[in-house]
Structures are given as structure tokens and as C-alpha cells.
Chains A and B, each alone.
Chain A
Amino acid sequence: MSKKAKIETLDNVTIRFAGDSGDGMQLSGGRFTQTSAIMGNDLSTLPDFPAEIRAPAGSLAGVSSFQIHFSSQEIHTPGENPDVLVAMNPAALKAHLKDLTPGGTLIINKNAFTTKNLKLAGYESDPTEDGSLEDYYSAHFIEMSKLVNLACEGIDLAPKLIDRTKNLCALGVLFWIYDRPLEPTIDWLNKKFKSKPDIVDANVKALHAGYNYADTAEIFTTKYIVNKAKLPAGKYRNINGTLATCLGLLTAVEKSNLSLTFAGYPITPASNILHTLANWKRFGVKTYQAEDEIAGIGAALGASYGGSLGVTASSGPGIALKGEFLGLAIITELPLVVINVQRGGPSTGLPTKTEQSDLFQAVYGRNGEAPMPVIAASTPGDCYYTAYEACRIAVKYMTPVMMLSDGYLVNGSEPWIIPNPDDLNDFDAEFVKENLTDEQYLPYKRNEETLARGWAIPGTKGLEHRIGGIEKQDVTGNVNYDSDNHEKMVQIRARKIANIANELPPTEVFGKKEGDLLILSWGSTHGTCKSATESLLSENLKVAHVSIRWISPLPNDLKDILSNYKNVLIPEINTGQFRQIIRAEFLVDAIGLNEVQGKPLGASTIVAKAKEIINER
């Protein structure tokens, strides 16, 4: 029997789905995201995976989670403390309860609170029985396993498979609470399990079971409405950073009439780039799983030498291995794009968590005077534009380019206006034409404006020439150990990269054009810094936010911008690497806000720090 529920409208909700790795939390989160996107909310998501592939079921190490922040306003972060926590077992409750907002909603799968699971999670008494939760949260203990078993009676599936549908039961409960339609999920299930009608049937029944339970049970009295957000007009889809990166690469080669060769070696969280591109052979994309990261970059560089656009991707440890090849790409002046999906370090560190600690590695991590452009993506969707720009600059200036991304960006998602590739910067790639004269080809002759040398690919008549890692004579490209020539070449290579700054668009300043505090960010802290700035501006504080895309070279107008504020705050998920660069470059006494917790910064931390600076200085 349906009851009459109270209806309340909210601007913002953050939900965290947490459960055992096998509980399907990523799927529940993904479906809630897709439905909310279709309903027109702005949103931002953050999955969190355990490092172990098959941690013992029910253990703390095996907890996987997915957070979604959705809103009727524009938002920039996946949210901090969730308003709702779905905990599918005791370990998930133990791991995440501390983050739940006081008074928040707890939705628990009661059937998973067995003696064994409680012990695995380290509970001495059952929190669903001892009354420890109800005083602080609006706690709902639902027998999800039992519900789905009843709902799926008569379906010819193993009990284990039936039990697995409880993630859809949980989703059904949330769909009722936030008044969302079930159809998009049902359509999706039908497509996904086309050949397994029993599985579709069981999952759909479980979804309804959850929805109906919330509808009839007395415990849920209020439905919440989160209205459409006023987003810029356009055609939207939801996108994560991995897909955006791959689409950016494909757009670059399509617009430049180049072919794409991607070579890499599996590593979390970069592997999905390889997996995605491997499915795009029909668009002419060649992918190659090499024997290690060195071979990955070597093959990518070899492909670029051959006239394809070589791209490789890895994470910190793999990027460390690629270092020597970056030097070769710099001295041979060949285009190459290297994507670093940063994770917690050093060494294996926190392989599934996000961090911004490879900035020095990207900017400085090579032997010799080895300048290289470094570009950082700021949101999952921005990975598209960043990857495109990385390719364009690599080809235009004949240089390797490093694109910095991170675990949060590649796995996080947001609604995204589908771009029109025609609106992007021009991208013409040209190879040196064949030479039918008797004159020797001069491989190190340069374009006067960009200082780039020509892209002369094997197979072209009359351009036979030799390149390599030994210092080359200016213009002729012959091996040359002369000290003056070396110094000249070092300077030319530096100038070529510095020149890129001349074509960068004016840096966007969000907020006051001058004032007490500039919040300066790079990479994925963009969203948090922007949210924090919005909140500070709403309190009439004289603050602004600048998000840096090109870290090497830095934009020419940054110096003036910095001088317009009394203080500069640089929040980073590292111990202050960008701050050191800014201090060294501009002699600005920038202040850091640094956390290395393997997760995005919280906007409230930045707001607090900003106020402290404004009040004290």
C-alpha cells in the first residue's frame, strides 16, 4: 500500500554507496548518476576502489565505495561529508561512518550483519542492535538479502546470483527517497544483459523490491526533490576522465589527419586508457601493450618518428621508468604525448588513491637541461580539451608533452556538454615534403616562429638523415661535441618551450580582479578551489580563484595577476610542489594548504584556511 509521503525540496545532496568489493556499489552509484544526469541535475562523482583485487569478503580492506554529489545548482566537487551513507556490510559501515554528516541518513543491509562479518569489521557488538546508531543518525536497517530472495522467487538462478541483486534493491530505496524514475536503469539492464533474461528479471525485481519497500514501509516518511540545475544550454552526456582523455586524443588525430599509436603497459589507474583505445581500431587507432613502460614510450616515440602520433600513459612508477626516453624525445625533437595519471606515491604507494605529487617529476624529472611542456587537466570533462591541446602542442613544437591527470579525474565523472570538434584550435600536421634536389636535407633547420624542426619521416625520398641522443649540430643535425654549439642548442630547446606561453589565452580570473586573497590551483583541485571561492565571495570577501592549465611554460600574465592580491593560497594534494615552483618563479610568498590523504581536498578546509589568512595578515 502506497502511503502519503511528505515532500521536501533540497538544493544539494551527497550520497555514498559503500559495500564489499563484490556488492556492486560502483554499479549502483553509476546508475544513480546516470539517472540524475538525465533528470538535469548538475553532479560530480568519485569512486574509491580497494587496492587488493580479491580482499577477503567482508574485510575492511575489501570495502569499495562510490560518492555522488548532485544538485539543482552548478557544483564543482563530488562533495565532502555524505548526507546519506549506504552500508551493505559491517566493514563498509566501520570504514565510512565517521564521514557521515551528523543526523544524516544511514541505509544498512541488515542481513550482512552476521557474527562473522561483525568480527571481520572489528565490531564487538552489533551496531544495528545495540542502539548506538539511532541516536545520531536517521538509521534504517533493511533486510535486503531477504527482500530480493522473496522478490525473485521462481526465477531459475543460483541463490548466490539472486543475492547479488541486493545492490539494485538499495538503489531502488534511494530512487524512492529522491523521487527518481526506474526506467533508465531498467532499459540499461535490458541492454547490458541482453543474452541473460533471468539476470535482467532478477535485477529488475530487486530494484522494484527496494522501491516498493521504501514506498510502503513506515520508516520513510519524506521524499526529497532535487530540481534541475540551470546549466548552460547544450547537448549533454555524463563523462569520466578516462573516456574524455581518449576522445581528446582521437579528436586531435582526426582534426590533424594523423594516425594515433598508443603504446603502454598496464598500471592502475591509467590502464583504462589502453582498454578504451584498444576498442577503437575501427577508427584507425593502433594500440600496443608493450613489455614494460620503457618499451611503451619507446614504441610510441618510434611511431612518432614514423609519422604517427605516439602516445603513452602510465602512473608515477611507470613515468619514472620513462624518464630516459623523455630526454631522447626532447633532443631528437619528435612529437610525443605522455599521460601521467597520478596516484599516491612514492613507489607503489597508494595505487588506487589520488594525489598530485608527481608535479616535480613532470617538470624536472630528467637528466640534463630538458625542458618539456606540462599541461594539467582540471575536471573529468576537461581531460578532453587537455589531451587535445597536449597533442596539438606536441606536433606544432615537435616536442614531448606531459599531460597530468590523476586517479580522481580519470574515475570521477560529471555532466559534459558534448563538444563540437570544429570549435577547437586549428591543428595542422605537416610532414617535410620529398626532396628531389641533390642538396642534403637539414634536419635541424627550424621554423622561425615556433623554432620547431621539420617532421621528416622515413619513406620520404631525399630526406635520409640520422637522428639520435648525442648532441646535434644546429641546422645540419650532425653529431657535434663542440661546447658553443651545445650551449646554443640548450638555449634553443629552452626557448622553443618558453615560446609556447606566447600563444596561451589570457588566464581566467574567477572572482575579484584584485583583493585580499588569490586561491591558485592546478589540476584536479580546481573544483574544490572554485567551490571554496564561490562560498567566500558569497560572504563578500575579496577573493579570486585561478586554475592553471599549463604548468610549463607558465602563462605570461600570471605574474601580474599574482601581484593584484595581498596573499596567495595554493591548495594541493602534495606537500607543496606547485607552491615551490611559484615561489621560485615569481618570488611570491605563497601559502600552502596541503593534504596527502589519497582523496580530493574539501572545500570547507579551504574556506577555513582562506578566512584565517584574510583575518591574520
Chain B
Amino acid sequence: MSDKPLLKKADFQSDQAIRWCPGCGDYAILAQTQKTFPQITEDKENTVFVSGIGCSSRFPYYMNTYGFHTIHGRAPTIASGLKIANPDLSVWLVTGDGDGLSIGGNHMIHLLRRNFDINIMLFNNRIYGLTKGQYSPTSEQGKVTYSTPMGSLDYPFKPTKLALGAEASFVAKTIDKELKHLQAMILRANEHKGTSFIEIYQNCNIFNDGAFAKLTDRDTKEEQLLRLEHGKPLIFGIEKDKGIYLDGTTPKVVKIGDEYSIDDIVVHDEEDRFIGDMLANFTESEEFPEPVGVLYCKERPTYDSLMSAQMDESQKGSKSSKGLNELLNAGDTWEVK
């Protein structure tokens, strides 16, 4: 970085009153983002937060950067167009489980496969917060809400699995209450060239309180969380005595000690698609711990860089100032005197 004075957290706080419910997980995510941003940029004018509609999508109003609160589900389209117009901007997309996976599911998968250099923060509270508590595409089957008095019938998505299926080049998961981890994931997403997808488990204390309690309760969480680190074995538990073992192609949770040693445990490789897929499948399962961290990260050319390359290629050797007249006068022409 240059010798410019470093920005502080306060520089990223806008003057707008925050309107989330007291106790909402969104506060923690906002605070961690504002805290991290001085490490991400020294020119806040080059940062843009784009969002859809939902409680989570209010986020841009509170960041003192450029911000665009768009329409329900469509933030990926605005973000993509913005990146086409100006590939130098740092573009962040904030969305919810309803915004990003229900009404905007189509745009989400296409953004991921195109791999624009955009960072996605998907706040998953497994509920529609803003419209006051209907089930969402990530709610567990059988969920009783205003719109499903006898329980929801829909089978839910696992967002990280969906992202990998849509050819995402960076997929991570974190939790609103895991402050340091959340910061680390934001930094990792920023470093990644390409579409970065961070799913953030977020508690909606009004309509879906405790959805992630077993992952956040001090007493239980270390038994439940599989903290991913590149190059390290997939172990978990308060005593770090459990791990993931591959029996042929089938993963199994094993106890490290007598029968299995640490050397039998799968070592995490962020660039390995098959490990990423396996980890994404652990989400919400009875048998496996919940992975948090970077499930998969492998760079490939971004859409914006490929587009710039085509633009450069097409402009090689041609004088574009003459272009218009050349086109106007192309083909057969004739004079009438």
C-alpha cells in the first residue's frame, strides 16, 4: 500500500440510521465488513455495494461507499453490467436466501458460471425476514410459517452445493457470530479473482430465532463445526479427535486414536473439486459436521478479463475514430445530383 493514511472502520460507516431489529445477525456482519474494509481498500470511491430486496439487502445504505439497492433478486444483473462498464471497480453483492436463491436464483447461477470478478455475501437466515416470516428455499422441510401452517413441503437447497453446481470458482461459508472467521472470509473473497460466493449463516431473531443455535452455542459448536484450512486434515471436536476418513469413495466420520491415525484423515485441498463437493454435501446432515471456511477456491479467467481481451483484440490496428463514417458509408452507395 502507498503512504496514504489508512482508512478506519468509521470511514466506511454511512450517516444513515440502521433499521434492522435489535439483535439481528445483520449488525454483526455489517460491523465485521466495516472493520475489514480498511485492509481491502484505501480508495473507498472504487467500492460499490449492490443488493436486491430484503432485510439483508438494506446493507448498502449503511456502507459509506457507492451503493445500489436494486430490486428483488436482480442485484447480480446490475453488478454484472457495472463490471462490464467499469472492470476496475470492486463490486460487492449483498443478498438473502430469498433474494438470491428464490426470485433471483436464475441470475445467481449465471453470475457464478460466468465468473465476473464480484464478491457475493449471501445472508442465509432460512426465512423471508422483510416480508415477515414466510419459509424460504433454504428453510427445512416441514417448517411452520404464516404461509405454511401445516409445515412447508419444499425440499431445501444447500447454497454451497448449488454454487459449486453452478461452477463457482470460490465457495465459502461462515457464521454471523464467528466474527474473526467472518472477517477472514471477507478478506479471502476479496483476494480471489472471480466470483466469490460466501454463504453467511445469519440469525433472524424475530422470525427464525436459533436456526443455527447448535453451530453457535459455546457448549456445542466445536463438536459441530468443521473448520476448514487448506493443507490441513479435516478434523473437528472439542478435543480435535474426530476426522473425515475416506472409505473408498465414501466419507466417514472416524475417531482418531486406536483404529485411525491423523494420517488417515483427508487433507483439505481448496483446489480439489471433489473435496469441495463432498464438503458441500455435509451441510445440515445428521452424520457429518458443518463445514465452515473455504470449501473450494480455484481461479480461472474472469468474464470481465475475457471481455476486455476481446475488446483489445478487436481494436488492434483499427482506428476507431474513423469507425462511424466507415460504417455509415459501408455497402453499395450512390450519388443523386
Contacts and interface: CB of A to CB of B under 8 A. Distances in A.
Contact of B332 (A38, A247, A296, A328): A38
Interface stretch (A211-219, A282-290, A546-554, A573-581): A282-290
Contacts of A261: 81, 84-85
A298 B106 contact: no
Contact of B89 (A286, A459, A467): A459
Contacts of B78: 298-299, 301-302, 305
B69 A310 contact: no
Given A302-B78, A419-B328, A459-B88, A479 B16 contact: yes
A238 B70 contact: no
B85 A308 contact: yes
Contacts of B48: 458
Interface string A249-265: 01100100001010100
Contacts of A283: 320, 323-324, 327
Contacts, number: 209
Contacts of A296: 77
B333 A468 contact: no
B54 interface: no
Contact of A233 (B64, B324, B336): B336
A324 B71 contact: yes
Interface string A557-590: 0000000000000000000000000000000000
A468 B68 contact: yes
Contact of B324 (A254, A462, A463, A470): A254
B314 interface: yes
Contacts of A304: 81, 85
Contacts of A282: 314-315, 318, 320, 323
A304 B61 CA distance: 20
B81 A298 contact: yes
B65 interface: yes
B328 A466 contact: no
B82 interface: yes
Interface in A289-322: 290-292, 294-308, 310
Nearest to B51: A468
Given A466-B14, A466-B60, A468-B60, A301 B323 contact: no
A295 B310 contact: no
Contact of A462 (B45, B315, B334): B45
A237 interface: yes
B150 interface: no
A392 B331 CA distance: 27
Interface in B59-75: 60-61, 64-71, 74
B249 interface: no
A281 interface: yes
B131 interface: no
Interface residues of A, number: 71
Interface residues of B, number: 57
A302 B337 contact: no
A325 B71 contact: yes
B84 A247 contact: no
Q: How would you classify the secondary structure of chain A's contact residues: helix, strand, loop or mixed?
A: mixed
A295 to B, nearest CB: 4
A39 B85 CA distance: 44
Contacts of A238: 331-332
Interface in A587-616: none
A478 interface: yes
Most buried by B among A259, A291, A292, A332: A291
A332 B70 CA distance: 9
A247 B326 CA distance: 11
A291 B107 contact: yes
Contacts of B273: none
B44 interface: yes
Nearest to A310: B81
A251 B86 contact: no
A117 B86 CA distance: 57
A421 interface: yes
B311 A463 contact: no
Interface in B16-53: 16, 43-46, 48, 50, 53
A254 B53 CA distance: 36
A284 B315 CA distance: 8
B46 A459 contact: yes
Contacts of A510: none
Most buried by B among A292, A324, A325, A458: A458
A88 B69 CA distance: 58
A288 B116 CA distance: 13
B67 A466 contact: yes
B196 interface: no
A291 B106 contact: yes
A301 B75 CA distance: 11
A408 to B, nearest CB: 21
Interface in A114-162: none
A37 interface: yes
B83 to A, nearest CB: 8
Contacts of A250: 323-324, 327
B336 A234 contact: yes
Most buried by B among A286, A325, A464: A464
A233 B337 contact: yes
A506 interface: no
Contacts of B333: 235-237, 418
Contact of B328 (A232, A247, A292, A298): A247
Given A302-B85, A324-B71, A466-B68, A295 B110 contact: yes
A460 interface: yes
A245 to B, nearest CB: 13
Nearest to A237: B333
A34 interface: yes
Contact of B74 (A251, A288, A294, A421): A294
A419 B329 CA distance: 9
A37 B336 CA distance: 11
A421 B327 CA distance: 12
A397 B275 CA distance: 53
A301 B76 CA distance: 12
A464 B65 contact: yes
Given A288-B84, A300-B81, A302-B82, A467 B315 contact: no
B106 A235 contact: no
A230 to B, nearest CB: 8
B84 A465 contact: no
A557 to B, nearest CB: 32
A194 interface: no
Contacts of A464: 44-45, 64-66
Given A40-B334, A281-B314, A302-B78, 6 more contacts: A284-B320, A298-B81, A299-B77, A308-B84, A465-B67, A468-B61
Interface of A: 34, 37-38, 40, 184, 231-238, 247, 250-251, 254, 259, 261, 263, 280-284, 286, 288, 290-292, 294-308, 310, 324-325, 327-328, 332, 418-419, 421, 440, 457-470, 478-479
| In the complex, the 4 A-B pairs of residues with the closest C-beta atoms, listed nearest first | A298-B77, A302-B81, A468-B69, A306-B85
Interface of B: 14-16, 43-46, 48, 50, 53, 60-61, 64-71, 74, 76-86, 88-89, 106-107, 110, 307, 310-311, 314-315, 318, 320, 323-324, 327-337
24 contacts: A37-B332, A235-B333, A254-B323, A254-B324, A280-B327, A286-B311, A294-B107, A295-B76, A295-B107, A297-B77, A298-B107, A302-B84, A304-B81, A305-B68, A306-B81, A306-B82, A306-B85, A310-B81, A418-B328, A461-B45, A466-B14, A466-B60, A468-B60, A469-B53
